Amino acid sequence: MHDVVSEVVLSIRDLKQHFAIGGGLFSKKKFVYAVDGISFDVKAGETLGLVGESGCGKSTVGRTLLKLYEPTSGQIFFEGRDITKLGSKEMGDLRKEMQIIFQDPMESLNSRHTIGGIMAEPFEIHGIGTPEERRVWVEELLVKVGLPKTAADRYPHEFSGGQRQRIGIARAIALKPKIIVCDEAVSALDVSVQSQIVNLLLELQKEMNLALIFIAHDLSVVKHISDRIAVMYLGKVVEMGDAETLYREPKHPYTQALISAIPIPNPRHRNQRIILQGDVPSPMDPPPGCHFNARCVHATDECRVKRPELIDYDSQGHQVACHLVQPIA
C-alpha cells in the first residue's frame, strides 16, 4: 500500500453510550447499554467494517463518534484532536470533515426540492461559493457518482433506489470529508445495484483517500469492502482484526457462528452451519460474565461470572475477548 494510508483520522477510546429510558413517576430509570466501552482507530484510505446482530449498537457507535449523540463517557479524537467535549458551535467546521450515509438518504429530504437544490444545501449551510459556483459543483458531483448533469433539475421520486443512493453519496462527499460512516448504505439495494454502489465507494475512497466506517448486516459485502472488521455483541467489540484473517480464522465463538451462518451462494455447501441457539439478550440487562455465555457452546463456569477483556491475540492487531482464546506468544 502507499504511504498516505498510514495517518489515523479518527480514534475512539472506551466510548460509551448509555441511553436512559423510563424513569417516570412510577418507574425506575433504566439504561440501555447500547455502546459499552469501545476503542478503535480508522486510518485515511481505510475501511473499518462494523458487524453484529440487530441491536448490538452499530448505528449508535456511528452516530456517537460523529457526535450526533453526546457520548456518556470515553473519548473521540479527530486527527489527533480530542473532540469529545466540543459544543455544536465548535464542531461547526469539523462537521464538513465527517459525514454519514443512511439506508435511504432521500427519506429525510424534502421531496419538493430538486436534486440540485438538495445537493447545494451543504454548500449553503457552510456559506461556500456563489449560486453559480454551487451549480457547477453540483453538476460535477453528479457526474462523479455516475449520474447525468440533468439529474439536478429532477425530483427525488423520479429516481430508483440505487440512483438515490448515488445522490446520497454525492451529497456526503460534497464538502470533501475525511471520514464517512456508511450505515447500512447498500442494505436496501438489489444485488446488481448494490455492487455498482460498492464499486463507487471503493473508487471514491481511493481517489479521496477517505476513511470509511462501513456498517452492514450483509457479512459478504462487509468483508468485500473492509480492510479491518470489528465484530460487536451487546455493545462491545468481541473480536477485531484484518478482514481476511478474521473471516479465515475467526477466534471468538460468536464470530465463528456469525461467519458460519452466512448463506453461501453455492448449493454444494449446505449443512455446514453452526446454528446458534436462542436470541441476543437485551442490552437493558446484559447477562453477567461474558455477554455471549448463554448462547456459547464452549461456555465454562468462568464465562458465567467473569467478563473477558479484549486482548491482543497477535502482534498484527487481531484482538479477541474470550476466556478460551490465549494470545499466541
Partner 1 sequence: MKPLNTNPSSTEPTAGEQLGEVVLDVRQLETTFTTEQGKIKVLDGVSFQAKRGQTIGIVGESGCGKSVTSLSIMGLLPRPHGQVTGGEVIYKGQDVTKLPPEKLYEMRGDRIAMIFQEPMTALNPVHTIGEQLCEVYRLHRPEFDKKQRKEEAINMLRKVDIPAPEKRFNVYPHELSGGMRQRVMIAIALACKPDILIADEPTTALDVTIQAQILSLMKELQQETGMAIIFITHDLGVVAEICDEVVVMYAGRAVEKTNVFELFENPRHPYSRGLLNSIPRLDDKPKTRLNTIEGSVPSLAEMPKGCRFYNRCPDRQEQCEHQTPVPEMIANDHMVSCLRLKELS
CB of 133 to Mg ion, least distance (A): 36
Q: Look at strands 228-233 and 211-215 and give their pairing.
A: unpaired
Which residues contact partner 1 (rule: CB under 8 A)?
47, 53-54, 160-163, 190-196, 198-199, 202, 217, 219-221, 223-227, 243-244, 247, 257-258, 260-270, 273, 275-280
**Terminal Cα-to-Cα distance of the chain (whole angstroms):** 27
CB atoms within 10 A of CB 110: 12
CB atoms within 10 A of CB 269: 10
Residue corresponding to grid cell 482507530: 41
Shortest Cβ contact with Mg ion: which residue? Answer: 59
CB of 146 to partner 1, least distance (A): 10
Q: At 201, is the secondary structure helix, strand, or coil? A: helix
CB of 59 to ligand ATP, least distance (A): 3
Report the Cα 80 to chain-centroid distance in Å.
Answer: 20
- Residue closer to partner 1 by CB (options 136, 261) is 261
Q: Which stretch binds Mg ion (CB under 5 A): 30-38, 51-59, 79-87, 310-318?
A: 51-59
- Look up residue 126 and give its DSSP letter: T
CB of 202 to ligand ATP, least distance (A): 23
- Residue closer to ligand ATP by CB (options 31, 77) is 31
Q: Which does 192 bind (CB under 5 to 8 A by kind): Mg ion, ligand ATP, partner 1, none?
A: partner 1
- Residue closer to Mg ion by CB (options 147, 230) is 230
Please give the backbone phi and psi of residue 171, each rounded to the nearest 5 degrees, phi first.
-65, -40
CB of 256 to ligand ATP, least distance (A): 20
- Look up residue 106 and give its DSSP letter: T
Which residues contact ligand ATP (rule: CB under 6 A)?
19, 21, 32, 34, 54-60, 217, 283
Residue from 11, 17, 47, 59 binding Mg ion (CB under 5 A): 59
Residue 15 pairs with which residues in a beta bridge? 38
Measure the CA–CA gap between 44 and 32, rounded to whole angstroms. Answer: 32
Measure the CA–CA gap between 115 and 174, rounded to whole angstroms. Answer: 13
- Residue closer to ligand ATP by CB (options 19, 155) is 19
Contacts with Mg ion by CB under 5 A lie at 59
